[in-house]
Copies of this chain bind each other. A is one copy, B any other.
Amino acid sequence: MSLIVQKFGGSSVRDAQRIRNVAGIIADTYRAGNQVMVVLSAQGDTTDDLIEKAREINPKASKREMDMLLSTGEQISIALCAMALEGMGLPVVSLAAWQVGIQTTSAYSDARIKKIDPERIQRELDKNKIVLVAGFQGVNRFGDVTTLGRGGSDTSAVALAAAFGADLCQIYTDVDGVYTTDPRVAPGAVKLEEITYDEMLELASQGAQVLHNRSVELAKKYHVNMEVVSSLERKPGTKVKEVVKMEKTNIAGVAKDTSIARIAVVGLDHNPGVAFRVFSLLGKAGINVDAIIQSIGRDTSKDISFTLPRADVEEAVRVLEEQKGALRFDHLTVEDKIAKVSIVGAGMMTTPGVAAKMFEALYDANINIQMINTSEIRVSVLIDEEDAVAAVRAVHDKFFGDDSFS
């Protein structure tokens, strides 16, 4: 008998019909002889509706009370889904985070799971019950409700799978798996049967929105086998695991991110500690910097360029200009009509020429590369935003197209 954790997101439980569909998937898994633990998000727009209610009353409400408010959404989902399973004659129990003993840090609205007390869930599993757990929430050391921030329900699911040594943690979504690239951009995109944690992490960081990084990191740390699978079609999804079988290509996918900008700090002194001062300043302002490139400028000065979320540009410029005197730079240049295209693959570490193949594809498509940034299993290029779609198609065709064997 296997223990399977299944997580369903907000759109999968958005109305009665969808909830019945989800109950059907759960029922099939249970009737196949598995123990089943299910994590649910709040229904469709429930969370947004609750946020709107709060805003109307107090736009600066404390995070503690926001968590108290928002955590009701998942509780509604698990109760309704339990009723659907009851209607199918199955033994089921819904549990809120405080009943499960999901202990978190005290940071309201962005808590981290510290520990899960297995007692209550184990008792219910021993009674052969399907256990439905409210995702996205926990309880901190003050006995208050916390929520886990973005990707919270995925994280709840992986944490439960880790705590109970589950055989599989299935993340049900609107898509049926992880693709070699966005099928809307490149019609030749292929669904991957398997992908490694590291590849998934790089793909997610580089713009693929299937899984949230936090849950994949947690899965990697505790060796939880994940599967991204569709809640609408009954067919195999993509497995995320430690090691995957060799594919004929060396990369897992091509990602595109058009939500970024580049800032160059031009004419900095060529002294030690300059980079530290720039990025600690940005760090304190809560700005996440991605790729960094430093180059020697004219004479003895140097330039530092970095990419960052487009939404943070204004704040970053403000912070840097404010400290212009202390940092001693000449001027800033901002470029926000850019895109980042990346290839990701665990295989590229051991295969020479993967990066060159990407650059060749871009050259053939007449696309100019502005910046290059690499990790062990990723190569990213910064290009004009208007070239982004053509770049993804060219690179994807090069690695996955009919000609990719040549």
List residues of A whose CB falls within 8 A of some B CB. Answer: 16, 19-20, 50, 53-54, 56-58, 60-62, 64-66, 68-69, 71-72, 75-76, 78-80, 82-84, 86-87, 93-94, 96, 98-99, 120, 143-145
The 5 closest A-B pairs by CB, nearest first: A69-B79, A61-B83, A58-B87, A72-B72, A58-B83
Whether the pair A62, B50 counts as a contact (CB closer than 8 A) is no
Partner of A20, one of B57, B80, B86: B57
Whether the pair B72, A76 counts as a contact (CB closer than 8 A) is yes
Cβ contacts under 8 Å, A62 to chain B? 82-83, 86
Q: With A58-B87, A60-B87 as given contacts, are A79 and B99 in contact (CB-CB < 8 Å)? A: no
Q: With A65-B83, A69-B76 as given contacts, are A56 and B144 in contact (CB-CB < 8 Å)? A: no
* Bound: A78/B143 CA distance, A: 16
Partner of A68, one of B53, B65, B82, B120: B82
Cβ contacts under 8 Å, A54 to chain B? 79-80, 83
The chain B residue with its CB closest to the CB of A80 is B57
Cβ contacts under 8 Å, A56 to chain B? 16
Cβ contacts under 8 Å, A64 to chain B? 93
The chain B residue with its CB closest to the CB of A15 is B56
Q: With A65-B79, A94-B65, A120-B143 as given contacts, are A58 and B72 in contact (CB-CB < 8 Å)? A: no
* Bound: A210/B145 CA distance, A: 35
Cβ contacts under 8 Å, A61 to chain B? 82-83, 86-87
Partner of A144, one of B58, B84, B99, B144: B99
Whether the pair B53, A16 counts as a contact (CB closer than 8 A) is yes
Cβ contacts under 8 Å, A79 to chain B? 54, 65-66, 68-69, 72
Report which residue of A64, A69, A87, A96 has the largest number of chain B beta carbons within 10 angstroms of its beta carbon: A69
* Bound: A144/B75 CA distance, A: 13
Cβ contacts under 8 Å, A75 to chain B? 68-69, 71-72, 75
Partner of A57, one of B84, B96, B143: B84
Cβ contacts under 8 Å, A16 to chain B? 53, 56-57
* Bound: A45/B193 CA distance, A: 48
| Distance to closest chain B CB from A336 (angstroms) | 36
* Bound: A119/B69 CA distance, A: 23
Please list 30 pairs of residues, one from A and one from B, whose beta carbons are closer than 8 Å in the complex, sorted by A's number: A16-B53, A19-B57, A20-B57, A50-B76, A53-B80, A54-B80, A57-B83, A57-B87, A58-B83, A58-B84, A58-B87, A61-B82, A61-B83, A61-B87, A64-B93, A65-B86, A66-B83, A68-B78, A68-B79, A68-B82, A68-B94, A68-B96, A69-B75, A69-B83, A72-B72, A72-B76, A72-B79, A75-B75, A99-B144, A120-B143
The chain B residue with its CB closest to the CB of A88 is B58
Cβ contacts under 8 Å, A87 to chain B? 57-58, 60-61
Cβ contacts under 8 Å, A98 to chain B? 98
* Bound: A65/B130 CA distance, A: 13
The chain B residue with its CB closest to the CB of A134 is B68
Other than the given A54-B80, A72-B75, 12 more pairs (CB < 8 A) read A16-B53, A16-B56, A16-B57, A19-B57, A60-B86, A61-B87, A64-B93, A65-B83, A68-B78, A75-B75, A98-B98, A120-B143
Cβ contacts under 8 Å, A72 to chain B? 72, 75-76, 79
Whether the pair B58, A86 counts as a contact (CB closer than 8 A) is yes
| Distance to closest chain B CB from A401 (angstroms) | 47
Cβ contacts under 8 Å, A93 to chain B? 64
| Distance to closest chain B CB from A68 (angstroms) | 4
| Distance to closest chain B CB from A149 (angstroms) | 18
* Bound: A64/B264 CA distance, A: 60
The chain B residue with its CB closest to the CB of A73 is B72
* Bound: A217/B127 CA distance, A: 40
